[in-house]
Amino acid sequence: MSREQYSIEAQARENRDPGERERPLPWFVIMLIGAMAACGIISIAGMHDDLGSRYGDSRTAAALMPPTVAKTGESATVDGGQVFTAKCAACHQATGLGIPGVFPPLAGSEWVRGSDKVLVQIPLHGISGTLQVKGASYHGTMPSFNTLSDAEIAAVLTYVRSHFTNSASAVSPATVTAGRAATHSQTLPFSNGEEIKQAGQQ
């Protein structure tokens, strides 16, 4: 037997390689996919722009944008708790207790419960020096948050004054606006508590 004949017979004994037929998917799978696609098209076509958020993607891009807060706007609603979480909680802690010897507490603080005109000066200009809080001295630096709007500063101070065992009146954006204007020439952080009190009396 020649080599060519042996090769032909060997190939004849082998099974053919598997391959797809004319219909690689079962007919019911194809019908199911078609039915799902049809339902999706009908559902999307029936959507309206005025539907609520429960309809998911029917919301417009504008509806998903966060509310814009004017620099000195009083009509805009700001969540003081969110501002506190984003700007303050890292140092003063979510409990408002601070870190002993490092960051002063907000809970029961005489600065928080005291004059709102004095209090607004702290986030407007920050502190770099010694501050007495509840009989303890704190030597550190608190950055200025004067880039926040008056409404945002008012909201976070109102939040602090009504949480962490504190019970004091709300701070209005107008108070922040007045405090910002009265000390607009100050460019450096406060170095002690007396400077903060004097600024709050302007």
Query: 116-154 b/e with 16+ CB inside 10 Å = b?
Result: bbbbbbbbbbbbbeebebeeeebeeebebbeebbbbbbb
What are the pLDDT digits (tens) for 140-198? 899 999 999 999 999 999 999 999 999 999 999 999 999 999 999 999 999 999 999 99
Q: Which residue has the tokens 């339902």?
A: 39
Domain ranges of the chain: 21-65, 80-200
The residue-averaged pLDDT of 82-103 equals 94
- Domain 80-200, second-level architecture: Orthogonal Bundle (1.10)
pTM recorded for the entire structure: 0.63
What are the pLDDT digits (tens) for 96-154? 999 999 999 999 999 999 999 999 999 999 999 999 999 999 998 999 999 999 999 99
Q: Is 129 helix (H, G, I), strand (E, B) or coil?
A: strand
